[in-house]
Structure 1
């Protein structure tokens, strides 16, 4: 039993790597209360053992990457909810430690990805599915910088810059990433062949193509039907490994804080097509369960040998 010791980027050069699925749905299945604006961060603060249990469920399902519970943790919003700066920093760092503890005990090599959700996620009003917050790139970078610094202090293997709706926010995240020297993947949330803010996909993906620290780029938390066109758009502007971890096709209703399920069950995802398009990080997002991840893992092309060899990838300077 050992934590993955080789850089995730090296493993992506050898084949597909299986991600985990939705943290919120697994916590709900474990009986956790996700009501209120804090969402999964409420469980992170009040019942951290349940977060570890959720990570363990995905590790048992075969996930090779565990994504932390930091998605919705941010300093300004949490200050309004009674968390001082030290407490918020503690939550961010705790999220990495919990995932790392499970990764260390897993029966197969597992990487830890520190989740960096978009500005809209911290607002808890669904605006990550709209973007265009009216903030400058500099202001967005100032928002994300302390979150990223706190996460990197615990030495995750990679940052998951995820559910990004807007190229402006991606630019801000990549600006902070360049300051740290850390590695990351970048996932946009998309709809109708564009980012959620309406930007062309080729322009959005080109930002990541220019960053040497981005180990993979693609889409997450979108309808599975949106994945293949988005991967093809990404492949047209970058040779980087691609990523795909959609939700189950449901639509989030921010007004009622509920998911509206798809009109018809989603067919089995075309993983072979996604893989041929360049996807090497494959998994699920909201409403994708450990059982779903186990089934996905059974259909992935096998990675090449030596996925756990080589120097460990950690925070900047390590």
Structure 2
């Protein structure tokens, strides 16, 4: 097991995670208003996924998250694809991120490469079971499966991501303590050479969406060496400051945060309502780092410009 996050953080004050895949795909004409969401592009427009990954690397991202949050074999087969075709799409998602990484890195002058801590990383996105349901329950955590059922659901996607060569897993937008435990159990017993970050979906500054106290969950996973970072994502910019402080109080692990841009999502209609934002990434990144965040990126509705704002501050320090 190699902890690439810790290795990179030895040379940098922080690492930059990429931003919203679906937001950029929509700008390129991909219709994400369906149960596959951004994974639609794996079938219809893979070249757009490649372009989005490259745009985030060019903006300064150190880590690309594969376009597999809402992509899994069961969902693709439910849409009518064969098992083999469904499996190939998961592998394709990793290949696209890796191709973008290589094209970006190879385009850099030698002196620019030397400024980077390491070759950029590719994190395999493992979204929650709620994303498969496609009913907004990743923001509620109100579904109930046994540990075995959770493990059986996640196993195939994790196996394919691992087979395709991801550097680590991204257990992201996790609203359920029980599901998170099942994921880490699967990681420990079936992927002993892999690491993962674990990023929760929270309903407030102190609580996971399923009602579990945030600090209790962090303390539980603090003992697992394969969890390379822990944090929150897809919450508002304004929540990050105190959430980081709450997490830092109970762990010495690297903390990862990647909020959305503050717009309001309606799971029923699958639409966003724009809001006026009093803060932005350029203003808040210094405070988040000071509070103890180590990996910073963007979730829904964030753009390469947002990632560039984060990278500009981290790279000058």
- Asked if 1:7 is matched to 2:4, the reply is yes
Q: CA deviation at 1:31?
A: 1.9
Q: Secondary structure at the match of 1:299?
A: helix
Instruction: Give the equivalent residue in structure 2 for 1:315.
Output: none
State how far apart, in whole Å, the 1-side matches of 2:263 and 2:235 are. Answer: 9
**Distance verdict in 2 for CA 1:53–1:301, change over 3 Å:** closer
**Alignment deviations for residues 53-76 of structure 1 (CA, whole Å, 9 cap, x no partner):** 111111111111111101101232
Instruction: Give the equivalent residue in structure 2 for 1:41.
Output: 39
Instruction: Give the equivalent residue in structure 2 for 1:294.
Output: 308
Q: CA deviation at 1:137?
A: 2.1
Q: CA deviation at 1:219?
A: 0.6
Q: CA deviation at 1:274?
A: 1.4
State how far apart, in whole Å, the 1-side matches of 2:14 and 2:315 are. Answer: 6
- Asked if 1:66 is matched to 2:77, the reply is no
Task: Determine which of 248, 260, 266 is the counterpart of 1:235.
Answer: 248
1:181-196 matched pairs, under 5 angstroms: 181=192, 182-193=194-205, 194-196=207-209
State how far apart, in whole Å, the 2-side matches of 1:73 and 1:251 are. Answer: 23
Q: Secondary structure at the match of 2:185?
A: helix
**Alignment deviations for residues 232-262 of structure 1 (CA, whole Å, 9 cap, x no partner):** 2221221101011000112221211101223
Alignment RMSD: 1.7
- Asked if 1:225 is matched to 2:238, the reply is yes
1:272-287 matched pairs, under 5 angstroms: 272-287=286-301
Instruction: Give the equivalent residue in structure 1 for 2:88.
Output: 90
State how far apart, in whole Å, the 2-side matches of 1:138 and 1:230 are. Answer: 31
Structure 2 residues not aligned, in runs of 5+: 114-118
Q: CA deviation at 1:6?
A: 8.9
Instruction: Give the equivalent residue in structure 2 for 1:201.
Output: 214
**Distance verdict in 2 for CA 1:301–1:236, change over 3 Å:** farther
1:156-175 matched pairs, under 5 angstroms: 156-175=166-185
**Alignment deviations for residues 87-144 of structure 1 (CA, whole Å, 9 cap, x no partner):** 2211111110100011112135311111111111111111100113111222111111
Task: Determine which of 128, 131, 145 is the counterpart of 1:135.
Answer: 145
State how far apart, in whole Å, the 2-side matches of 1:20 and 1:67 are. Answer: 7
Structure 1 residues not aligned, in runs of 5+: 304-318
Contact persistence 1:68–1:112 (CA under 8 A): yes
Instruction: Give the equivalent residue in structure 1 for 2:191.
Output: 180
Aligned residues: 298
State how far apart, in whole Å, the 2-side matches of 1:13 and 1:189 are. Answer: 28
Q: Secondary structure at the match of 2:228?
A: strand
State how far apart, in whole Å, the 2-side matches of 1:6 and 1:75 are. Answer: 28
**Distance verdict in 2 for CA 1:60–1:301, change over 3 Å:** closer
Higher normalized helix content (fraction of residues): 2
Q: CA deviation at 1:164?
A: 0.4
Q: Secondary structure at the match of 1:238?
A: coil
